[in-house]
């Protein structure tokens, strides 16, 4: 695909190619990053349960929280990989960059965890009752 800012690449927009790139990135993250994989699995279980009991607002909330935590996790992984690629030795500035990226991912994990726990308890009470 052509990069309109750099003027490089092939001309034209191909949505199927874009979807392939998106799928490839998500698949790579799920296969090689355990923090992405377990969040996908746990969220999928909760999404299926919420869908089963027709709690549509819960489905949307779990979907939104999962999307945000996965975005944060994948950006954190990308930033860490880029930092390691640029500077292999220990560098205090790189450490600070990685710590900030990890803190952003940590905040999103905390919010996701609260939502997952609350929704799991609500769904459990629906299945038990």
Give percent of the chain above pLDDT 70.
Answer: 91
pLDDT digits (tens, 9 = 90+) for 68-107: 999 999 999 999 999 999 998 999 999 999 999 999 999 9
Higher pLDDT, 39 or 126: 39
Using alpha carbons, list the distances in angstroms from residue 60 to 66, 89, 119: 10, 43, 11
Contact of 59 with 51, CB cutoff 8 Å: yes
Residue 12's pLDDT is 66
The DSSP symbol for 29 reads H
Residue boundaries of the structural domains of the chain: 1-32, 34-128
Tokens of 75: 């950006």
Give the residue carrying structure tokens 């990226």.
101
Rounded to an integer, what distance in angstroms lies between the CA atom of residue 86 and that of residue 93? 12
Q: How many Å from the N-terminal Cα to the C-terminal Cα in the chain? A: 53
Rounded to an integer, what distance in angstroms lies between the CA atom of residue 104 and that of residue 27? 22
Looking at the predicted structure, is the pLDDT value of residue 14 above 90?
no
Residues assigned a catalytic role: 73
**Topology (CATH) of 34-128:** Helix Hairpins (1.10.287)
Higher pLDDT, 50 or 9: 50
Tokens of 90: 């220990």
Rounded to two decimals, the pTM is: 0.82
């Amino acid at each position: 695909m052509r990069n309109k800012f750099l003027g490089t690449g092939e001309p034209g927009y191909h949505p199927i190619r874009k979807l392939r790139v998106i799928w490839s990135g998500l698949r790579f993250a799920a296969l090689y990053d355990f923090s992405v994989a377990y969040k996908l699995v746990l969220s999928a279980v909760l999404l299926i349960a919420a869908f089963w009991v027709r709690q549509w607002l819960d489905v949307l909330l779990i979907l939104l929280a999962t999307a945000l935590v996965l975005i944060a996790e994948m950006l954190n992984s990308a930033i860490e990989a880029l930092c390691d690629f640029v500077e292999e030795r220990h560098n205090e500035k790189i450490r600070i960059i990685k710590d900030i990226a990890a803190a952003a991912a940590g905040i999103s994990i905390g919010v996701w965890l609260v939502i997952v726990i609350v929704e799991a308890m609500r769904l459990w009470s629906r299945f038990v009752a």
